[in-house]
A and B are shown apart, each in its own frame.
Chain A
């Protein structure tokens, strides 16, 4: 039973959600909205599991004096530092001027922006070490990348200023984006849609059940 009930739930719910697209009649018309509400509520409940897990692991590290246990203290402290004003502040917890919004603006934002920004360095390092014209495929990848990188900044047109209009780097970059690039995207999109249909069908039919613990 422990195995059958979840499979049954998955199958029935999946089929209903496929059908709702074709049935405008109540209650099918409401399914989409309900699901979005339910999912966000479940996710909000589930984050308790995650947060407790994070605390547990950090506490274990501290208790066992494992490597870098000091940082585990920092994790717990910073978690509490934002959670306490977050809950203590009531509904207006993130209005301008609150400590929560201060933390958001001056701690959270710079940290997440910088994490994003150091990608720039990794991109360059990857270009130097990994992007090799090993074969025709890789060469095409690099050539397309060149067109786009040069064509999308003013320098590109500076380099090809002598070419007639329509044949400058920015035009070529535009052509690559609009045609071969778009064609590739489209093939990938169609493939993904079909892969999704088949994966979803396998899940709904209960053939694919490893997410619920295998056969």
Chain B
């Protein structure tokens, strides 16, 4: 065993031998090598050590990680080479070196996390053959650094900022009274009509906000739309039924409907019983909602929010009782059923636009314009990017290669 570690050499050597012995036993247990045990081969299989071991700070963290990289042993350049594993050793504050990580042959990188930025760390890496080992030079002591900004994410920040600023800009413009055009969204035009129908028929409205909790934005969107719907409902004397599958959603929905009734000037008509918790369980909930649909025959059904398998049962049952159904979700797998079985369907982004659209307030509509800026950026980047990539790759246009690389870099998220 070659040891080039300065200081504490005898002690270290002893420790290493002990460690080597103990880890070796452990390896023999965990990775029985049939060839080795059969041959009872005592010939030493010597290996070269890993070289160029470098430790660097792991960028953009809270100062708790270091990156260790090395060039694998020359006996590990081909698959099935002599190296069977690597072992990383670390010393904290110039203390003794302890094994911290075992790695497979072919490894050349290790990220050491959960470190302390007040301590200094140095490392070396040992390559093991079946019965020999060779250790690398140890690195100089280093401390992890912590940073305030995640520079790799700067471009993501810039683009998010541009879109956010666009949203701000249009909200301001709308406040100043500029006329902003928003195209008609069929599903939302129908909301009033659907509520009117329930009034005429004297039957309740059923509002289903999906089955996820308040920590899903689709549920948030559903609750904000509920605010608009409840305002209209409060003006008529219709019953709203809202079975929910999450307790937090129940709380939020009650709050929302209550305020809508207060704003409409009829706080007395509101009752907590409008919103009812059933169960967190997906199908327990569906079974109950199905029961409500079949027994109470609501005239209008809203299915807005995050839906999974239950979308089909709900939409089909609603269809079978001839209710007008307005549905919307951002989950593509559930959209075909809504499209087939419901009268109006809000597809993906339209669900998020709905509450702004229904409010009719200029500042809310302004935010939709901001969204369009985002789409415009995406479209332009895609077109330029594809042209650049194609020209660069098929016809070797260097400038285009630069454009291609730049766009790929800007839009990378790692």
Q: Which residues from 315 to 350 on chain B have a C-beta closer than 8 Å to any C-beta of chain A?
A: 315-316, 319, 330, 332, 336-337, 339-341, 347-350
* B389 contacts partner chain A, Cβ-Cβ < 8 Å: no
Given the interface pairs A126-B316, A197-B164, A207-B171, the reply to whether A119 lies near B309 with Cβ below 8 Å is yes
* B364 contacts partner chain A, Cβ-Cβ < 8 Å: yes
Query: In chain A, what residue has the closest Cβ to B308?
Result: A116
Sort A-B residue pairs by CB-CB distance and give the 8 closest, nearest first. Answer: A210-B227, A195-B352, A115-B283, A213-B259, A50-B247, A191-B349, A50-B277, A195-B349
Q: How far is the CB of B157 from chain A (nearest CB, A)?
A: 6
Q: Which of A122, A145, A199 has the most CB of B within 10 A?
A: A199
A112-B284, A195-B353, A210-B223 known; 10 other A-B pairs, CB under 8 Å? A22-B153, A29-B61, A46-B246, A50-B279, A115-B286, A119-B313, A188-B347, A191-B348, A199-B355, A205-B171
* A98 contacts partner chain B, Cβ-Cβ < 8 Å: no
The complex places the Cα of A39 from the Cα of B259 at a distance, in Å, of 25
* A215 contacts partner chain B, Cβ-Cβ < 8 Å: yes
* B390 contacts partner chain A, Cβ-Cβ < 8 Å: no
Q: Are A194 and B374 in contact (CB under 8 A)?
A: yes
Q: Which residues from 178 to 192 on chain A have a C-beta closer than 8 Å to any C-beta of chain B?
A: 184-185, 188, 190-192
Given the interface pairs A29-B61, A191-B348, the reply to whether A213 lies near B256 with Cβ below 8 Å is yes
The complex places the Cα of A112 from the Cα of B374 at a distance, in Å, of 41
Query: In chain B, what residue has the closest Cβ to A42?
Result: B248
Interface 1/0s, chain B 188-218, versus A by CB < 8 A? 0000000000000000000000000101010
Binding site for A on B (CB under 8 A): 60-62, 146-150, 153-154, 157, 160, 163-164, 167, 171, 213, 215, 217, 220-221, 223-224, 226-228, 231, 246-248, 250-252, 255-256, 258-260, 263, 273, 276-284, 286-287, 295, 309, 312-313, 315-316, 319, 330, 332, 336-337, 339-341, 347-353, 355-356, 363-364, 367-368, 370-371, 374-375, 378
Interface residues on chain A, number (Cβ under 8 Å):
61
Q: Which residues from 39 to 80 on chain A have a C-beta closer than 8 Å to any C-beta of chain B?
A: 39, 42-43, 46-51, 53-54, 57, 67
Given the interface pairs A49-B277, A215-B263, the reply to whether A25 lies near B146 with Cβ below 8 Å is yes
Q: Which residues of B sit under 8 angstroms from A48, Cβ to Cβ?
A: 247
- Chain A contact residues, majority secondary structure: helix
Q: Which of A188, A200, A212, A214 has the most CB of B within 10 A?
A: A214
* A123 contacts partner chain B, Cβ-Cβ < 8 Å: yes
Q: Which residues from 156 to 215 on chain A have a C-beta closer than 8 Å to any C-beta of chain B?
A: 184-185, 188, 190-192, 194-203, 205, 207-208, 210-215
Q: Are A197 and B163 in contact (CB under 8 A)?
A: yes
Q: Are A198 and B256 in contact (CB under 8 A)?
A: no
Q: Are A199 and B283 in contact (CB under 8 A)?
A: no
Q: Which residues of B sit under 8 angstroms from A184, Cβ to Cβ?
A: 332
Q: Are B148 and A25 in contact (CB under 8 A)?
A: yes
Partner of A211 from the list B149, B223, B273 (CB cut-off 8 Å) is: B223
Q: Which residues of A sit under 8 angstroms from B150, Cβ to Cβ?
A: 21-24
* A103 contacts partner chain B, Cβ-Cβ < 8 Å: no
Q: Are A49 and B247 in contact (CB under 8 A)?
A: yes
Partner of A198 from the list B157, B280, B319, B368 (CB cut-off 8 Å) is: B368
Q: Are B287 and A115 in contact (CB under 8 A)?
A: yes
The complex places the Cα of A139 from the Cα of B330 at a distance, in Å, of 23
The complex places the Cα of A190 from the Cα of B349 at a distance, in Å, of 9
The complex places the Cα of A194 from the Cα of B375 at a distance, in Å, of 7
Q: Which residues of B sit under 8 angstroms from A185, Cβ to Cβ?
A: 332
Query: In chain B, what residue has the closest Cβ to A201?
Result: B167
The complex places the Cα of A204 from the Cα of B8 at a distance, in Å, of 59
Q: Are A190 and B378 in contact (CB under 8 A)?
A: yes
Query: In chain A, what residue has the closest Cβ to B370?
Result: A198
Q: Which residues of A sit under 8 angstroms from B263, Cβ to Cβ?
A: 214-215
* A106 contacts partner chain B, Cβ-Cβ < 8 Å: no
Q: Which residues of A sit under 8 angstroms from B146, Cβ to Cβ?
A: 24-26
Query: In chain B, what residue has the closest Cβ to A20?
Result: B150
Query: In chain B, what residue has the closest Cβ to A36?
Result: B215
Given the interface pairs A25-B148, A141-B339, A214-B263, the reply to whether A194 lies near B250 with Cβ below 8 Å is no
Q: Which residues of B sit under 8 angstroms from A29, Cβ to Cβ?
A: 61-62
The complex places the Cα of A111 from the Cα of B285 at a distance, in Å, of 12
Q: Are B280 and A47 in contact (CB under 8 A)?
A: yes
Query: In chain B, what residue has the closest Cβ to A130?
Result: B340
The complex places the Cα of A188 from the Cα of B167 at a distance, in Å, of 20
Partner of A39 from the list B61, B215, B351 (CB cut-off 8 Å) is: B215
The complex places the Cα of A203 from the Cα of B61 at a distance, in Å, of 29
The complex places the Cα of A58 from the Cα of B163 at a distance, in Å, of 49
Q: How far is the CB of A133 from chain B (nearest CB, A)?
A: 12
The complex places the Cα of A47 from the Cα of B347 at a distance, in Å, of 31
Q: Are A111 and B283 in contact (CB under 8 A)?
A: yes
Q: Which residues of A sit under 8 angstroms from B258, Cβ to Cβ?
A: 213
* A131 contacts partner chain B, Cβ-Cβ < 8 Å: yes
Q: How far is the CB of A121 from chain B (nearest CB, A)?
A: 9
Q: How far is the CB of A91 from chain B (nearest CB, A)?
A: 21
List 14 A-B residue pairs with CB atoms under 8 Å apart, sorted by A's residue number. Answer: A21-B153, A25-B148, A112-B281, A115-B284, A119-B313, A126-B315, A190-B375, A194-B349, A198-B356, A199-B352, A207-B363, A208-B364, A210-B226, A211-B255
Given the interface pairs A47-B247, A192-B348, the reply to whether A125 lies near B252 with Cβ below 8 Å is no
